[in-house]
């Protein structure tokens, strides 16, 4: 009996993810942080799974292509690395793969011969746009548990939290 109960608790903790760390008497802010982290992890895992199953790509490749899609004139590798918050080596590896597949074009910069400009090829544009349409549908589906009012309210509240975080970071740096 006790082993079954412990097994059930482990399954429940696994399903709760980060939230399993919270105790009933923890501060509401700590519980909220853990719930936000659990939701983000759950959604990201599901998006990764669907991208892999449907298109055979990683979330990193999708994000890479999304950045280039937003910049039709191209981006320097260094800019892309900064936007994706990854190392230049990661961008180079992804670029090599996507270039071999005919999805990305790498051109020397006219202003700086040491720099490369990256662009999606027409094939890359078409592939990304197909993925982006499905990705958007998945996001709508995953957030369908919230009504429109709750979604707008949560969006506004998280925006206020971001402003607070930026201000508190700025005041710490000033000290």
142-156: pLDDT as tens digits: 999 999 999 999 999
* Segment 78-87, tens digit of pLDDT: 899 899 988 8
Judge whether 63 lies within some domain.
yes
**pLDDT tens-digit profile of 21-37?**
666 767 888 889 989 99
Number of neighbours of residue 98 by Cβ within 10 angstroms: 23
Nearby residues of 63 by Cβ (< 8 Å), 6 or more positions away: 84
Exposed, middle or buried by CB within 10 Å (0-12, 13-18, 19+), for 9? Answer: exposed
The pLDDT of residue 9: 44
Domain assignment present for 139: no
Q: Which of 40, 35, 57 is nearest to 48 (CA)?
A: 57
Domain count, the chain: 1
Token pair recorded at residue 46 = 């599901």
82 domain residue, yes or no: yes
Please state the rounded mean pLDDT for residues 41-70. Answer: 96
Residue 175 has pLDDT above 90, yes or no: no
What are the backbone dihedrals phi and psi of residue 75, each rounded to the nearest 5 degrees, phi first?
Answer: -140, 150
Specify if 47 maps to a domain.
Answer: no
pLDDT in tens, 107-150: 988 887 788 899 999 999 999 999 999 999 999 999 999 999 99
Place of tokens 């993925």: 131
CATH of the domain at 122: 1.10.10.10
Q: Which of 24, 45, 48 is nearest to 34 (CA)?
A: 24
Higher-pLDDT residue of 27 and 74 is 74
Q: Is residue 112 part of a domain?
A: yes
Whole-model pTM: value is: 0.78
Distance from C-alpha of 8 to C-alpha of 116, rounded to nearest angstrom: 54
Residue 49 lies in a domain: no
Residue ranges making up the domain that contains 102: 57-134
Q: Which residues of 112-144 are buried (b: 16+ CB within 10 A; e: fewer)?
A: eeeebbbbbbeebbebbeebeeebeebeeeeee
Q: What is the reported pLDDT for 88?
A: 83
Size of the chain, expressed as the number of residues it contains = 175
- Hey, is 76 helix, strand or coil? strand
Q: Classify residue 69: in a domain, yes or no.
A: yes
At 120 the pLDDT is: 97
On whether residue 80 sits in a domain, the answer given is: yes
User: How does residue 170 score in pLDDT terms, banded at 50, 70 and 90?
Assistant: confident
């Amino acid at each position: 009996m006790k082993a079954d109960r412990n097994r059930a608790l482990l399954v429940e903790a696994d399903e709760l993810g980060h939230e399993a760390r919270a105790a009933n008497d923890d501060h509401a802010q700590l519980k909220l942080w853990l719930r936000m982290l659990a939701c983000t992890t759950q959604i990201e895992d599901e998006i990764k799974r669907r991208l892999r199953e449907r298109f055979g790509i990683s979330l990193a490749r999708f994000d890479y292509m999304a950045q280039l899609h937003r910049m039709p004139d191209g981006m320097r590798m260094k800019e892309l690395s900064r936007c994706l918050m990854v190392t230049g080596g990661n961008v180079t590896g992804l670029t090599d793969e996507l270039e071999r597949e005919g999805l990305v074009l790498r051109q020397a910069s006219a202003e700086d011969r040491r720099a490369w400009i990256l662009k999606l090829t027409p094939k890359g544009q078409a592939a990304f746009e197909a993925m982006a349409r499905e990705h958007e549908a998945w996001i709508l589906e995953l957030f369908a548990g919230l009504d429109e009012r709750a979604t707008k309210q949560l969006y506004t509240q998280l925006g206020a939290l971001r402003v607070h975080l930026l201000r508190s970071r700025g005041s710490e740096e000033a000290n």
